[in-house]
Chains A and B, each alone.
Chain A
Amino acid sequence: MRLLPPWSRAPLLGLRQPAAVLAVLVTTAILACAVASAPLFLSSARSAALQQQLAPQCAEASWPEVGVGVAAPVGDRAAGLAAAPQEAWAAEGRASVPALLVGSALGAGGNRQQGVPVAGADGAALSQPATLFWRPGALEHVDVLDDGGGDGVWVPASYAQAAGVVAGGTLAVGGVPTPVAGIYTDLFDTVPDEYWCDYEDLFTNATSADTPPPALLLAGDEQTLVDLAVAARGSLQSSAQVEVDGGTLTSSRAAALGAATDRALARLPDVPPDDGGKGADPRLADAAGRAEVLESGLRGPVVPVAVAGGLLALVLVAAAGSFWADRRATEVRLLAARGVGPVPLAAKAALELGLPALAGAAIGWAASRLLVGGLGPAPELDPAATTAALWAGVAAFVVGLGAAAAVAGLRARGTAERPLGAAPRWPSRVPWELALLVAAGWCWVLLEGRDAVVSQAGVAQVNGLLVAFPLLAVAGAAVLLARVLTAALPRLRRWAGRRRPPVFLAVNRLVAARAATATLLVAIALPVAVLGYTATLTASSRATLDAKVGVQLGAGAYASTATRVDPAAVTGSDGTTVLRFGNSSLTSAGGAGTDVQTLAVDPATFAGSAFWVGSFADRPLQDLVTDLTRETATVPVVAAGLPTGPYELRLGNVPVDVDVVATADVLPGRRTADPVVLVDRSRLPQVPPSAGSDQAVERWTDGDVATAATALRDAGAVRVLDTVPADVQRTANFLGITWTFGYLSALAVFAGVIGAAGLLLYLEARSRSRVSGYVMARRLGLSRAAHLRSLLVELVGVAAAGVLVGGVLAVGAVAAVYRRLDVDLLRPPTPLLDVPVPAVALTVVAALAVAAGAALYAQRSADRADPSSVLREDA
């Protein structure tokens, strides 16, 4: 079959309509970007989740490591075992860094003991055994005090002093005379660098200061350590790590490293577990597993969001097809009049628009790659995700071109066949959007029976229904409202008939193109609503999370001690001191006792430092604290979770008559589910240690926690613990929520771009009649300023209406959902509402600015028109 020129030359003919080419190119790019971004975003989130879990840990947490250990005595196996991990990695084609440790030895009685026994220069056994350690470069990361220049072991200064040895001397390590190669400053007396991060347990004992770890003897070389392990009848732990940059790790790379680790582990010699055993560092695998959990949780909300964005963009592509039909109206009408059906016309459109659609899909794919890489949670993307995105781009090309061509064919044929003044077709009168609202209702019903936020393996995930419900509801309501508003436009037209020309012309333009007006209204309302919704929920969940942490800590951070220090002696320029009674109860007259958390506070400074949100009580914290200083017979207290009235407060076994004079929903410092009681510290009697009240003195601060800890030490505290927000909440656990709403926000911005593109398409599609009308209206007496005002009234008016509708919908969606978005049900407070005013204001300004910009653009196009040629072209 031979194609006729309208089809055979179609690819070239299409290029003669740059506006249509551009429209299809841009809209296909938007479509491809929408669908390709989902796999890329999920990959980016997975990488970021992995990286953010590894970031707070030592660098070695992200290094795959295999090791083998043999309990003392290692004997002749030492040399082989020491080299085994490195050889296992070498077989995998990977270079590795070894680490050797002799942590125990067989004692004189044949018992295994912690550390290797060491005798000093005088031959007397030292009370503290030693650990032998070797790792390449260790000596470059200690403070060398004395270098004897020979082989042997390096001894920490305090140990050398206890042993009475100097560099060049000799120590008996496990009974083996060993030269002292040098002396270094004890690592616990220095601030060790990153090299020691993963080996802190070798020189510190975080859990008990009373039992120091064995002294850390650094072997000068690997052979020295192996020889000593054999000679001293010690144990041997040998491991090797592959250096990896955890900050740029992707999930697929982590999986590949995990597989390599398994293979390397299998290559290690088998050692029975009771004789030591072999193993791999689980931290990277654990982090990768949690990243997978987070990603699977994200997939639920992200995929429907991407589909929604894709459908929205598909509408735009279809509109571009319709635009093509308008631009090619003369030719397609002629073809239609000669009996060409919609299918051949669609084929012609596909041939003309194929190249731009292909280019658009490629641009969209590249844009999604750039956008997710640049703005997503992490720039590192899995190759598989990039490939999936590529296929998504191909699908966008095929589906987009098909939709554009189908709409173009139908519209071209329909335009030719439709009689003048015909009523709108029945499909346009059916309120299809009600189906969206019904679906939203169904989601809501399902959501009623499920948790809005679920936690899997400690990772909080947003229920997909929580995303689907507002999207469907907002979309359905936006279309329905747009339909109702545009149906009322004819009334507005009568009103505009009495107004000045700019308003009259603007309203008539809107009334004349009601479908376009409704589409534009929805295109603005939808992104505004989704952005308002997501921004508010993101800010609210963040504020709620911060509040939960704040309530638990009591302030920005705190330092605490169980040492009995006088709270009044703990002073500082910022912060407040709190005496916490862990074992206390409150009993009402004739009632049962209730365990409480009693906080004895300083009324002068407490309200200034304690974490507080206005919704915690119907009075400010300062007012509540002032109530604690009332001059009453019984001690006044403020409680959360108990009614007012007289009670007996028991601090351990010390009774105090108190009166709950004020209550709050939440009080700062709540660490358990028990009610919190605030009391003025100066009103309490002395509570002796024997009372069993489980006292702790805490210094709460919004400033530097180290300063708070110093204040406690200055008051005599021996052991002080710092607690900061990161200790309470593992941020990575909540990344899923943050990213879910982040992705939704991106969709909203994306929908805004669609809206802006739609606005330009709307203007371009009507530019011919608009310019022609403008040229003639100018001749009729319309001033340029009046025409610009009419454009501003038209476009900014629709934008303002869209912003208003979108704002109302966002408020409704937020009101329906935010109370259910409790990221941590165990901790108070219940969800807080935090409206991000700057983001909302920016959205409003952006919407109005885009509309105003579009009005200026339309005015400029009209100004450039040559009246004579315009009025001839239309002839």
Chain B
Amino acid sequence: MTGFAAHGVVKRFTRGTETVTALAGVDLAVAGGEFVALVGPSGSGKSTLLAVLCGWETPDEGTLEPAAAVDRGWSDLALVPQALGLVADLSLLDNVLLPARLRRHRTTRTDAPGDPVPLAHRLMADFGLEHLADRYPHQASLGEQQRAAVARALVLRPALLLADEPTAHQDRDHADALLDALRDAALDGSAVLLATHDEVAWSRADRVVSMRDGRLAAGAPS
């Protein structure tokens, strides 16, 4: 089984003299092919958990399986951060294809199996971005940028996909398109963890876990 597991993860931050415990012993496992929605109020620790899982933050306590590391490739661990992280100097299409380019994939369309280029173009089309392919991120709306960031996360069919509020700036139709794509990724074997406030997403997930004050609980909040 691919996917990941976190055991007893604790993460604290120091702000001045105050110590804030963002994650207070989180245990969570997501199996390959599973689509899990992580829900909770703002400041509950969702983004911190994703940062720990992708290796940008180091846990103070607890273990991760497999060990989170920033050098894990995009096909192992892809991410849609809240800030999106699109490269401002690349067009939306080039942003989507960037993971493939950095893995020395060809970025011209071929019919070779596993070629990410057709997938990139399909995702652009599915997300309503085809006509914006040559635009820079700043020439697109925030919602369009967000969809491009999700397309970029999916382009190498990652084993683990972490997405932080990927539908936050979407209308319902586009949000559904994104959720469909994430659902399809899970069906293809990816472990998908989605931090979201979108209640529709909860219903599309295989499982919902809720977070409050750095602690996880099964099921959606009441």
Does B bind A?
yes
A residues within 8 Å of B by Cβ? 420-421, 497, 501, 504-505, 508-509, 511-513, 766, 769-770, 772-773, 775-782, 866-868, 870-875
B3 to chain A, nearest CB (A): 19
Complex contacts, B56 vs chain A, CB 8 Å:
866-868, 871
Complex contacts, B86 vs chain A, CB 8 Å:
773, 776
State in angstroms the CA–CA spacing of A497 and B94 once bound together.
9
Of A508, A513, A870, the residue contacting B90 (CB under 8 A) is A508
Complex contacts, A769 vs chain B, CB 8 Å:
88-89
State in angstroms the CA–CA spacing of A506 and B101 once bound together.
14
B83 contacts A874, C-beta separation under 8 Å: yes
B107 to chain A, nearest CB (A): 7
Complex contacts, B79 vs chain A, CB 8 Å:
779
B57 to chain A, nearest CB (A): 5
A773 contacts B88, C-beta separation under 8 Å: yes
Docked complex: B180-197 residues within 8 A CB-CB of A: none
- Smallest CB gap from B137: residue in A: A769
A777 touching B87 in the complex, CB below 8 Å, given contacts A868-B57, A872-B82 = yes
Complex contacts, B74 vs chain A, CB 8 Å:
779-781
State in angstroms the CA–CA spacing of A465 and B54 once bound together.
65
A509 contacts B89, C-beta separation under 8 Å: yes
Determine whether B41 belongs to the interface, using a CB cutoff of 8 Å to chain A: no
Complex contacts, B107 vs chain A, CB 8 Å:
497
Determine whether B64 belongs to the interface, using a CB cutoff of 8 Å to chain A: no
State in angstroms the CA–CA spacing of A867 and B89 once bound together.
19
B83 to chain A, nearest CB (A): 4
Determine whether B12 belongs to the interface, using a CB cutoff of 8 Å to chain A: no
Complex contacts, A777 vs chain B, CB 8 Å:
87, 98, 102
A504 contacts B57, C-beta separation under 8 Å: no
Docked complex: B61-115 residues within 8 A CB-CB of A: 70, 73-74, 79, 81-90, 94, 98-99, 101-103, 107
- Smallest CB gap from B73: residue in A: A781
B162 to chain A, nearest CB (A): 11
A871 contacts B139, C-beta separation under 8 Å: no
Complex contacts, A872 vs chain B, CB 8 Å:
47, 82-83
A779 touching B54 in the complex, CB below 8 Å, given contacts A501-B101, A872-B83 = yes
Complex contacts, B84 vs chain A, CB 8 Å:
874
B residues within 8 Å of A by Cβ? 47, 51, 54, 56-57, 70, 73-74, 79, 81-90, 94, 98-99, 101-103, 107, 135-136, 138-141, 152
Report the 5 A-B pairs with minimum CB-CB distance, sorted nearest first: A776-B85, A874-B83, A512-B89, A769-B88, A781-B102
B47 contacts A508, C-beta separation under 8 Å: no
A795 to chain B, nearest CB (A): 14
A264 to chain B, nearest CB (A): 75
Complex contacts, A420 vs chain B, CB 8 Å:
138-141
A767 to chain B, nearest CB (A): 11
A773 touching B102 in the complex, CB below 8 Å, given contacts A420-B140, A871-B83 = no
- Smallest CB gap from A783: residue in B: B102
State in angstroms the CA–CA spacing of A157 and B154 once bound together.
111
A873 touching B136 in the complex, CB below 8 Å, given contacts A508-B90, A780-B102 = no
A781 contacts B94, C-beta separation under 8 Å: no
State in angstroms the CA–CA spacing of A512 and B84 once bound together.
19
A773 touching B94 in the complex, CB below 8 Å, given contacts A420-B140, A781-B74 = no
Of B47, B85, B139, B140, the residue contacting A772 (CB under 8 A) is B85
Q: Can you give 9 contacting A-B residue pairs, CB < 8 Å?
A: A508-B89, A769-B89, A781-B73, A781-B102, A870-B83, A872-B47, A872-B82, A873-B83, A875-B82
Q: A781-B73, A872-B82 are in contact. List 13 more A-B contacts (CB 8 A).
A: A420-B139, A421-B135, A501-B102, A772-B85, A777-B87, A777-B102, A780-B102, A781-B103, A867-B56, A867-B70, A870-B83, A871-B82, A875-B81
State in angstroms the CA–CA spacing of A779 and B47 once bound together.
16
Q: In this complex, which of B47, B74, B81 has the most chain A Cβ atoms within 10 angstroms of its Cβ?
A: B81
Complex contacts, B103 vs chain A, CB 8 Å:
781
State in angstroms the CA–CA spacing of A865 and B215 once bound together.
28
Of B83, B98, B135, B136, the residue contacting A780 (CB under 8 A) is B98
State in angstroms the CA–CA spacing of A512 and B89 once bound together.
5
A773 contacts B82, C-beta separation under 8 Å: no
Complex contacts, A874 vs chain B, CB 8 Å:
83-85
State in angstroms the CA–CA spacing of A509 and B91 once bound together.
11
B99 contacts A871, C-beta separation under 8 Å: no
Complex contacts, A766 vs chain B, CB 8 Å:
88
- Smallest CB gap from B101: residue in A: A501
A512 touching B136 in the complex, CB below 8 Å, given contacts A501-B101, A777-B102, A781-B73 = yes
Complex contacts, A871 vs chain B, CB 8 Å:
56, 81-83, 85
State in angstroms the CA–CA spacing of A866 and B141 once bound together.
26
B109 to chain A, nearest CB (A): 13
Complex contacts, B89 vs chain A, CB 8 Å:
505, 508-509, 511-513, 769, 773
State in angstroms the CA–CA spacing of A780 and B140 once bound together.
22
Complex contacts, B94 vs chain A, CB 8 Å:
508
A421 contacts B88, C-beta separation under 8 Å: no
A779 contacts B70, C-beta separation under 8 Å: yes
A813 to chain B, nearest CB (A): 35
Complex contacts, B83 vs chain A, CB 8 Å:
772, 870-875
B102 to chain A, nearest CB (A): 4
A533 to chain B, nearest CB (A): 34
Complex contacts, A512 vs chain B, CB 8 Å:
88-90, 136
Complex contacts, A511 vs chain B, CB 8 Å:
89
A775 touching B136 in the complex, CB below 8 Å, given contacts A504-B101, A780-B102 = no
State in angstroms the CA–CA spacing of A342 and B142 once bound together.
26
A776 contacts B81, C-beta separation under 8 Å: yes
State in angstroms the CA–CA spacing of A766 and B103 once bound together.
26
B16 to chain A, nearest CB (A): 16
Q: In this complex, which of A421, A769, A871 has the most chain B Cβ atoms within 10 angstroms of its Cβ?
A: A871
- Smallest CB gap from B91: residue in A: A508
B167 to chain A, nearest CB (A): 14
State in angstroms the CA–CA spacing of A30 and B128 once bound together.
49
B137 to chain A, nearest CB (A): 9
Complex contacts, B85 vs chain A, CB 8 Å:
772-773, 775-776, 779, 871, 874
State in angstroms the CA–CA spacing of A94 and B49 once bound together.
86
A782 contacts B102, C-beta separation under 8 Å: yes
State in angstroms the CA–CA spacing of A871 and B82 once bound together.
7
A419 to chain B, nearest CB (A): 10
